[in-house]
Amino acid sequence: MSTSWLYDGFGIRGYQYVKTEYLDGGVVFHVSQSLERCRCSACGSTEVASRGHVERDFRSLPIGSKPTTVVLPIPRVECLACGVIRQVAVDFAAPRRRHTRSFARYVLQLSQLMTIQDVAQHLGVGWDLVKEIQKEDLQRRFRKPKLKRLQRIAIDEISVGKGHRYLTIVLDLDSGAVVHVGEGKGGESLLNFWKRLRSSGAKIKAVATDMSPAYIDAVTTHLPDATLVFDRFQVMKLFNDKLSDLRRELYREATNRQHKDVLKGTRWLLLKRPENLDSKKNEPARLAEALRLNQPLATAYYLRDQLGEVWEQDDQDTALDLLLDWVAQAEASGIRVLKTFAKTIRLHAWGILAWYDHSISTGPLEGTNNKIKTMKRQAYGFRDQEFFKLKIYALHESKYALVG
């Protein structure tokens, strides 16, 4: 083996090849560094005197299935310029690491295609080493996401564990990148984001969120010039929850066994759009029978379709007329769930209609949340909360985002 092959094949430059050994099924390369190439690791001076050495082993790129190790007697020198006595820096490895930089790059390349456990087994190293290499790379790239160019964002929370553990996610709607992951939910989870946003000088034009009072207060307080948008996805999701509540309420109040049997198992049918009902499973007929026997349920079901039309108008004025008409119908229905929801819609009409000024949605954020949930189930070892957050920041650019 030549010194140049060490450089071309293993990324080791500026060191002399000494010898090769074959031990325990692996390959061991011995290299050395001349005093003339040594520099003080404190001030960079080349005026140094030898004070011995410390031998260290570094894991390097494998040759086929054989692991390789680089052994280097690291010179210990006294700097004649600043008087410090210490080891020289190792160019081919990061400080306090027992693997080469080329080995770390290879691990990251494999991690795009394989789980952490697969990479560890393939290379014959510990699971924790692969995780730490990934974590260091993610910290370097995503520890502080850039916020300067933010213009349109979405905010939502996601449940990440038992005991009502939540993370609050802020998504850049233009790039698809997560720009903030906060502990918990509500306004307090965004405090660090607002601080960094002010420092960045970003000019936020619009924010998509649900109708949570905590988020509304946080956005209006910290971004008074931004347009707050309650998009169709969140409003219809909330109405579907109310529709399910009404079905359960009617089931409890029903005294006729036939009515109970019809209502039972219709929850998912009520949440489906008419065009998505499966005729092979007799879903249209089952839904029609449930609506025929339960007038309050039918009223709520058809009002849901009318509410969805608010976002399909040609202009904001027409949408406003339709929304006010919907609120009037819901209030006149006499159904408690609908009357309560109508009050909510009237109170937040300004944010719903803002969609015509900025047609943004939290839909992309819901997709990101689903990826996070799937990622969490892959057992990354997310007892390390910082590693979990860094993985979330990297979701948008990873082709294989759902592997470990």
Q: Does residue 382 lie in a domain region?
A: yes
At residue 337, what is the residue type? V
Q: Are residues 245 and 327 in the same domain?
A: yes
Model pLDDT for residues 53-107, shown as the tens digit of each residue: 999 999 999 998 899 999 999 999 999 999 999 999 999 999 999 999 999 999 9
Q: Does residue 240 lie in a domain region?
A: yes
Instruction: Write down the pTM of the prediction.
Output: 0.76
Q: Are residues 224 and 176 in the same domain?
A: yes
Model pLDDT for residues 222-233, shown as the tens digit of each residue: 999 999 999 888
Q: Are residues 117 and 160 in the same domain?
A: no
End-to-end CA distance of the chain: 36
Q: Are residues 240 and 352 in the same domain?
A: yes
Q: Are residues 243 and 342 in the same domain?
A: yes
Q: Are residues 62 and 111 in the same domain?
A: no
Count of the separate structural domains present in the chain: 4
The residue ranking higher by pLDDT, 206 or 116, is 206
Q: Are residues 23 and 6 in the same domain?
A: yes
Model pLDDT for residues 14-50, shown as the tens digit of each residue: 899 899 999 988 999 999 999 888 999 889 899 999 9
Q: Does residue 104 lie in a domain region?
A: yes
Angle at 94 between CA 92 and CA 98, to 5 degrees: 85
Q: Are residues 183 and 279 in the same domain?
A: no
CATH number of the domain that residue 385 is part of? 3.30.420.10
Q: Are residues 241 and 314 in the same domain?
A: yes
- The domain in which residue 217 lies consists of 152-230+360-397
Q: Does residue 402 lie in a domain region?
A: no
Q: Are residues 52 and 125 in the same domain?
A: no
As a whole number, the mean pLDDT across the chain is: 84
Count of Cβ atoms closer than 10 Å to residue 83 Cβ? 10
Q: Does residue 290 lie in a domain region?
A: yes
Q: How far is CA 61 from the centre of its chain?
A: 31
Contact in structure between 153 and 207 (CB atoms under 8 Å): yes
